């Protein structure tokens, strides 16, 4: 057994294991862990500095998970948009393909809390074969995102079998992997894994750091291996109350990501997922964080701030109000709140006709 597999086996899967170390009453939390599974790797546990800190809040069940939410178990209508089990086809040219039902750690805020790590998430050879057949039969799909669960919880052989099949489909241009392994079990990023991944380029990997304390020597080393294999690395962060909902923490996170060669990709407004209401911030707070980034630090440190639209409308970007008005003059505000004017170009002749015809 490899080190990462041993570490996975040594994970905590019940709150009782926390009692001795932290002196908390595990009994009420056991009910929560019944409903939504718990698993924390010894590595991630070692990052906790005190009860209730940002690392703790992401990993340890809370009574708040039993509160009623603003919406439902599947606010993004993923099940409605799945033509075959575990494959979401929402956008014209790309799909989200869930190839593993488990994760090394069960994040308390997970958008797929309704099924990840639970019995109702059934992934088998058969569902994977159905997903591959769907992609093969839909040549408009040029981008496949492997997700789950965590695809890197599969063995190298299992994952390679899927990558090989995908690469045999000529219409698939790029493959992306979404994984939280570099954050919660960086020991998974072995030399053997990256050597294998390297054979399936163009391959992109998006990881999921939410707090600067998650960037450690171990995660830095794991990320360096991936980057050295020529895999472009992005990061998706969820805006979470009590974890990263302040501009200073977020700016430090984005800057630290760049220093380990990861490009911040998305900052998500929290979804309306049942059992995660206590993590939600207002949209205004997200916009304020974005206003703190743009112009104040490297442009490449600024992710796109998006709301994944309830009902399956996809990701919708939000920006603070830089554009004040449009017309022959464009009125703008810069990052310091100063006003600027930009003289607009003359519209193309055809556009003028269209305006005239509509009048």
CA angle 80, 78, 214 (to 5 degrees): 175
- The answer to whether 71 is annotated as binding is no
**Interface residues for ligand PLP in 71-90 (CB under 6 A)?**
88, 90
For the question of residue 271 being annotated catalytic, the response is: yes
Q: Select the residue interacting with ligand SF4 from 94, 176, 180, 211 (CB under 6 A).
A: 180
| Closer residue to ligand SF4, CB minimum distance, 148 or 212 | 148
Q: Which region, judged by CB under 6 A, interacts with ligand SF4, from 83-91, 102-110, 160-168, 221-229? A: 102-110
3-state secondary structure string, the chain? CCHHHHHHHCCECCCHHHHHHHCCCCHHHHHHHHHCCCCECHHHHCCCCCCCCHHHHHHCCCHHHHCCCCCECCCCCCCCCCCECCEEEEECCEEEEEEECCCCCCCCCCCCCCCCCCCCCCCCHHHHHHHHHHHHCCCCCCEEEEEECCHHHCCHHHHHHHHHHHHCCCCCCEEEEECCHHHHCHHHCCHHHHHHHHCCCCEEEEECCCCHHHCCHHHHHHHHHHHHCCCCEEEEEECCCCCCCCHHHHHHHHHHHHHCCCEEEEEECCCCECCCHHHCCCHHHHHHHHHHHECCECHHHCCEEEEEECCCCEEEECCCCCEEECCCEEEEECCCCCEEEEECCCCCHHHHHHHHHHC
Of the candidates 39, 57, 94, 108, the residue annotated as catalytic is: 94
| Closer residue to ligand PLP, CB minimum distance, 204 or 322 | 204
For the question of residue 36 being annotated catalytic, the response is: no
| Closer residue to ligand PLP, CB minimum distance, 96 or 183 | 96
**Interface residues for ligand PLP in 8-67 (CB under 6 A)?**
none
Q: What does 211 bind: ligand SF4, ligand PLP, none (CB cut-off 5 to 8 Å by kind)?
A: none
Q: What does 340 bind: ligand PLP, ligand SF4, none (CB cut-off 5 to 8 Å by kind)?
A: none
For the question of residue 110 being annotated catalytic, the response is: yes
Q: Give the span between the Cα atoms of 127 and 137, in whole angstroms.
A: 15
Question: From the CB of 4, what's the least distance to ligand SF4, in Å?
Answer: 15
Q: Which region, judged by CB under 6 A, interacts with ligand SF4, from 29-37, 146-154, 274-282, 336-344? A: 146-154
**Interface residues for ligand PLP in 282-321 (CB under 6 A)?**
315
- The 240-279 contact track toward ligand PLP, x by CB under 6 A, reads ----------------------------------------
For the question of residue 100 being annotated catalytic, the response is: no
Q: Which region, judged by CB under 6 A, interacts with ligand SF4, from 16-24, 42-50, 144-152, 196-204? A: 144-152
Active site residues: 90-91, 94, 103, 107, 110, 112, 271, 308, 315
Interface ranges with ligand PLP (CB under 6 A): 88, 90-91, 94, 96, 145, 315
Q: Which residues bind ligand SF4 (CB under 6 A)?
A: 103, 106-107, 110, 112, 116, 148-150, 180
Annotated binding site: 103, 107, 110
């Amino acid at each position: 057994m490899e080190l990462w597999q041993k570490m996975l086996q040594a994970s905590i899967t019940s709150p009782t294991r926390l009692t001795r170390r932290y002196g908390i009453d595990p009994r009420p939390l056991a009910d929560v862990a019944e409903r939504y599974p718990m698993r924390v790797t010894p590595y991630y546990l070692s990052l906790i500095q005190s009860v209730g800190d940002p690392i703790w809040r992401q990993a340890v069940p809370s009574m708040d998970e039993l509160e009623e939410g603003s919406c439902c178990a599947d606010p993004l209508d993923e099940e409605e948009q799945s033509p075959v089990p575990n494959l979401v086809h929402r956008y014209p040219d790309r799909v989200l393909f869930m190839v593993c039902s488990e994760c090394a750690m069960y994040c308390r805020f997970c958008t797929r809390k309704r099924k990840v790590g639970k019995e109702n998430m059934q992934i088998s050879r058969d569902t994977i074969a159905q997903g591959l057949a769907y992609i093969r039969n839909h040549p408009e799909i040029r981008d496949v995102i492997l997700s789950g669960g965590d695809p890197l919880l599969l063995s190298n052989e299992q994952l390679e079998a899927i990558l090989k099949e995908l690469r045999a489909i000529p219409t698939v241009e790029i493959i992306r992997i979404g994984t939280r392994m570099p954050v919660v079990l960086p020991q998974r990023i072995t030399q053997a894994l990256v050597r294998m991944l390297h054979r399936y380029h163009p391959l992109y990997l998006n990881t999921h750091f939410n707090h600067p304390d998650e960037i450690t020597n171990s995660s830095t080393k794991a990320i360096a291996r991936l980057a050295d294999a020529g895999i472009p690395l992005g990061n998706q962060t969820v805006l979470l109350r009590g974890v990263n909902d302040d501009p200073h923490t977020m700016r430090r996170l984005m800057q630290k990501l760049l220093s380990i060669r990861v490009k911040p990709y998305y900052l998500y407004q929290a979804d309306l997922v049942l059992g995660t209401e206590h993590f939600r911030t207002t949209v205004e707070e997200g916009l304020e964080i974005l206003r703190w980034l743009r112009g104040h630090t490297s442009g490449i440190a600024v992710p796109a701030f998006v709301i994944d639209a309830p009902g399956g409308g996809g990701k919708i970007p939000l920006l603070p109000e830089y554009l004040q008005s449009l017309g022959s003059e464009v009125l703008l505000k810069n990052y310091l709140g100063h006003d600027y004017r930009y003289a607009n170009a003359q519209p193309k002749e055809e556009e003028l006709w269209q305006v005239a015809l509509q009048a």
